[in-house]
Structure 1
Amino acid sequence: MASNDNAAAPTTTTESVTQEQRVGYDKKCIFCRIVNREVDTELLHSDEEISCFRDIRPGAPHHYLVVPTKHVGNCKSLRKEHIPLVEKLVETGKEILQKNNVTDFSDVRFGFHWPPFHSVVHLHLHVLAPASQMGFMSRLIFRPDSYWFITADHLLQRLNSME
């Protein structure tokens, strides 16, 4: 069996690697397809580690999704070793807000939908600002530390408490 697996592996340059064979890519995941520019979505930030784009159903005047460029499952699947990744997602969200002239971080909501209350399994941080301008439904959907939404700070506390 091992020889069959090796036979399927590409033996030429990395350009010949198909999307399906790339580590950290799920061809069924819309966010993987967005960060790989297979979907016509403006990327506000994109590097080897993190990508950011606007939410298609904004819950606030500024509503961005910050995602790992490589496919990572939902926030329930994270472990202590993912703390730097979560911190980098938040840091990138703050940078995007600053580029869009949002400087009052006391009126910003950073968080994740808690499974099973998410529509895309690819880890994604919601960045919403100003939180004070969110409508009734958005305040409900993105209610901090509810059964369905966890703030980035709370998630980091959970991850830090893991052994």
Structure 2
Amino acid sequence: MSSVRENIDNSESVVGYEKKCIFCRIVNREMGTELLYSDEEISCFRDIKPGAPHHYLVVPTQHVGNCKSLSKEHVPLVNRLVDVGKEILQKNNVMDLSDVRFGFHWPPFCSVTHLHLHVLAPASQMGFMSRLIFRLNSYWFITVRSLIKVQQCS
């Protein structure tokens, strides 16, 4: 698991790294956050405000903007985010994937503009506020399937 950004002066501009982005800093091990998964393309870590017993964020290792900045060329990336999310769930003994919520907050309802997939399990154990914040196909939270439909139209 090598860092995408090694031994680089903070003043330098690095492709795929936004020095003000908290998720770029996490992925590059500048924050002390435990990475549950990391490769050249994808990283995963726990959400700091979990909405379910298992709440993970799966992000592109390089900075990618929010959902609205995606196009149909990003469909493989989105599918890979889901695959990594499933892999992390299985490593944490979550085998019932029918009780999992995968989705994205739709701008302007995302707190970090680095693309991130929320993986929540078991969805049946989410509290009232989490059910609201992560409500499927609302104005503010969309499923992977809905996002891919939007991407394929752009």
Q: TM-score, normalised by structure 2?
A: 0.93
Structure 2: distance between partners of 1:123 and 1:83: 13
Which structure has the larger Rg over C-alpha atoms? 1
What are the Cα deviations for residues 72-117 of structure 1, in whole angstroms up to 9, with x where unaligned? 0001110010001000000000000000011111100000000000
Query: Which position in structure 2 is the counterpart of 1:94?
Result: 86
Structure 1 stretches lacking a partner, 5+ long: 1-13
| Matches for 1:75-114 after TM superposition, within 5 Å | 75-114=67-106
Change (3 A) 1:76 1:15: closer
Aligned match of 1:122 in 107, 110, 114?
114
> Deviation of residue 22 (structure 1)?
1.5
Aligned match of 2:39 in 27, 31, 47?
47
Query: How many residues end up aligned between the 2 structures?
Result: 149
One-letter amino acid matched to 1:54: R
What are the Cα deviations for residues 115-148 of structure 1, in whole angstroms up to 9, with x where unaligned? 0001000000000000000000000000000000
Structure 1: distance between partners of 2:30 and 2:117: 21
RMSD of equivalent CA atoms? 1.3
Structure 1: distance between partners of 2:91 and 2:149: 28
Correspondence 1:32 to 2:24: yes
User: Per the alignment, in what secondary structure is the counterpart of residue 21 of structure 1?
Assistant: coil
> Deviation of residue 15 (structure 1)?
5.9
Correspondence 1:18 to 2:9: yes
Structure 2: distance between partners of 1:46 and 1:158: 27
What's the % identity of the aligned pairs?
77
One-letter amino acid matched to 2:141: F
Query: Which position in structure 1 is the counterpart of 2:51?
Result: 59
Structure 1: distance between partners of 2:30 and 2:6: 16
Structure 2: distance between partners of 1:107 and 1:56: 21
Structure 1: distance between partners of 2:102 and 2:17: 25
What are the Cα deviations for residues 28-81 of structure 1, in whole angstroms up to 9, with x where unaligned? 000000000000100000010000000000000000000000000001110010
Change (3 A) 1:15 1:112: closer
Structure 2 stretches lacking a partner, 5+ long: none
> Deviation of residue 18 (structure 1)?
2.9
Change (3 A) 1:16 1:66: closer
Structure 1: distance between partners of 2:13 and 2:99: 42
